[in-house]
Amino acid sequence: MERFTGKSLLERVAIGRIYIYKKQEYLLEKRNIDDIEGEKKRFHEAREAAMKELQGLYDKALAEIGEEEAQIFEIHRMMLEDLDFIEGTESMIDGEKVNAEFAVSETGTTLSNLFASMEDAYMKERAIDVLDVTKRVVNRLAGVEDGGMHTKDPVIVVAEDLTPSETVQMDTNKILAFVTRKGSSNSHTAILARTMNIPALVKTDITLDDKYQGQEAVVDGTTGELYIKPSKELMDSMVEKKMEIDRKDNELKKLIGQESITADGRKVNLYANIGNVEDTKKVLENDAEGIGLFRSEFLYIGKNTFPTEEEQFRAYKAVLEKMEGKKVVIRTLDIGADKKADYFNLDQEENPALGYRAIRICLTQPDIFRTQLRALYRASAYGTLSIMFPMIIALEEVQEIKKIVQEVKEELQRENIPMGDVELGIMIETPAAALISDDLAKEVQFFSIGSNDLTQYTLAIDRQNEKLEKMCDTHHKAVLKLIRMTVENGHKEGIWVGICGELAGDTTLTEQFIHMGVDELSVSASRILNVRKAIRECV
């Protein structure tokens, strides 16, 4: 038995086999080959593996999201049966004697350009799909991990570090726990682990040795330990611990259907944070009363190109419909810093957290912003939508946003597209916004406090920097003062104020937040019932 330790993010236990996840950067190269038939065989094997994967994704999406949303995987699968694609690739391998990776990539690019040049808007959009599907086959050929877990059974993922774009592409049904050598507890990957309600250890002293691949292991999130090849005694005690946690979960489940109300009758809106459509399932299972933060940037990262208006519309509509009229707060694109996508072509910056990100990108590249706003307003007809804007620092930004929003709405009205009533709000996650929240409150219908960034910018502590974690006092008086100030200023103007950062799920602060007058707490789905319990115990 071997034992490793790390910093635990969630007090749960996982038992299963290790999956060593190694990042691989694949650089496409052109190689000359002799065995033409062998290369064609490789191409067909990879094509078939990709089709199988797509079938699996279709089935999963159909079960979890719905027919309309699942359709895209079927379209991708059919593209791999397309004769132009197959024959184009084969004739390139034949004629130019090049490796299959190169032939697939070239054929895919040619077909994609063909689609892009078409007049019809639907066909134009398919250009992106062709590139997506081409990449899938190239990855299979090159044996590159693309976030897909190539395992049949659920596993304990052990990695150096995981970026949000890697985690977002993983099949969550196949992950029992995350164990990373790096990482901080405030990173977005940590937030995702909490959303998934699985144990996760960061800063773990394990090496990514292949000898651990497939070994039986236990992650004890209550102590921050990882055991590989555990002894029988240890395994027995872990099974017991896991059962105890399950018993506590069942106790908490009794709060499903109960109100989030204090003993003296104060109602708090208890909402959940999500990063994609599938997360909605956990939100409903845990009985959240709405969605307080949909991090829409997760629709953009882990992709090769911008999500289209149609793609975004489908995702927003799916969430709104699943929530059946309950409030859904969708945050506009908050890309930048650790949340990256290559196709944005963002420069390397000295201080990305203080850099060109979020609303700053949206206001300087309005086409990206308008596409998202169109998708949001089109979806608004299918539920109760609120839109909020991240990283605000100035009144002028809010005024500029409102101008663009008005133009988008008028455009949709001219197109006779139905829309619902949409509340507009902003995130208060910079000290600047908190300090001018009296003025900002006159412009919007709600505030949602992003305590993760508010803490980072107030304490000047990079939330990604693992070395500074010990110094990062999440209960710092300065942060709590800014929260109180924001609530008071919001209430003076009659608007509601919530918290959607990780602090909202910290039950040691629930009572204090309620006394400040916070109207809404939006937390990871796995924290909903814990926070409901804390609210009900407050006086």
Q: Sign of dihedral through CA atoms 241, 244, 248, 249? A: positive
Site size toward ligand PEP (CB under 6 A) is: 10
- State the binding string over 235-274 for ligand PEP (x if CB under 6 A, else -): ----------------------------------------
For residues 141 and 100, what is the distance between their CA atoms, to the nearest angstrom?
Answer: 8
Q: Which of 282, 295, 365 is nearest to 330 (CA)?
A: 295
The answer to whether residue 76 is catalytic is no
Smallest distance, Å, CB 465 to Mg ion?
16
Residue 112 or 522: the one with the smaller Cβ distance to ligand PEP is: 522
For residues 482 and 493, what is the distance between their CA atoms, to the nearest angstrom?
Answer: 17
Residue 190 engages ligand PEP in binding (rule: CB under 6 A): no
For residues 357 and 391, what is the distance between their CA atoms, to the nearest angstrom?
Answer: 8
Smallest distance, Å, CB 456 to ligand PEP?
8
Smallest distance, Å, CB 436 to ligand PEP?
18
Interface residues toward Mg ion, by CB under 5 A: 429, 450, 453
DSSP for 155-209, please give it: EEEEES---HHHHHHS-GGGEEEEEESS--TTSHHHHHHHHHT--EEES------
For residues 102 and 437, what is the distance between their CA atoms, to the nearest angstrom?
Answer: 55
Burial class (CB in 10 A: 0-12, 13-18, 19+), 221: buried
Residue 443 or 453: the one with the smaller Cβ distance to Mg ion is: 453
Contacts of 284 (CB under 8 A, 6+ apart): 322, 323
Smallest distance, Å, CB 191 to ligand PEP?
6
Among the listed residues 175, 500, 525, 534, the single contact to ligand PEP using CB under 6 A = 500
Taking CB under 6 A as the binding criterion, the range among 47-55, 84-92, 284-292, 450-458 that sits at the site for ligand PEP is: 450-458
The answer to whether residue 188 is catalytic is yes
Task: Return the SS3 of 243.
Answer: helix
Are 122 and 144 contacting, i.e. CB atoms less than 8 angstroms apart?
no
286: its two tokens: 């845990």
Residue 216 or 278: the one with the smaller Cβ distance to ligand PEP is: 278
177: its two tokens: 């726990």
204 binds, among Mg ion, ligand PEP, none (CB under 5 to 8 A by kind): none
Among the listed residues 108, 183, 450, 505, the single contact to ligand PEP using CB under 6 A = 450
For residues 189 and 302, what is the distance between their CA atoms, to the nearest angstrom?
Answer: 13
DSSP single-letter state for residue 265 = S
Residue 39 or 297: the one with the smaller Cβ distance to ligand PEP is: 297
Among the listed residues 452, 458, 524, 530, the single contact to ligand PEP using CB under 6 A = 452
Residue 357 engages ligand PEP in binding (rule: CB under 6 A): no
Smallest distance, Å, CB 434 to ligand PEP?
12
- Out of 76, 188, 476, 491, which one is annotated catalytic? 188
Residue 526 engages ligand PEP in binding (rule: CB under 6 A): no
Residue type, position 150, single letter: H
Residue type, position 14, single letter: A
Residue 429 engages ligand PEP in binding (rule: CB under 6 A): yes
Residue 527 engages ligand PEP in binding (rule: CB under 6 A): no
Q: Sign of dihedral through CA atoms 4, 6, 12, 18? A: negative
Residue 464 engages ligand PEP in binding (rule: CB under 6 A): no
Smallest distance, Å, CB 340 to ligand PEP?
14
Residue 217 or 392: the one with the smaller Cβ distance to Mg ion is: 392
Among the listed residues 453, 462, 519, 520, the single contact to ligand PEP using CB under 6 A = 453
Binding site for ligand PEP (CB under 6 A): 293, 295, 334, 429, 450-453, 500-501
The catalytic site residues sit at 188, 500
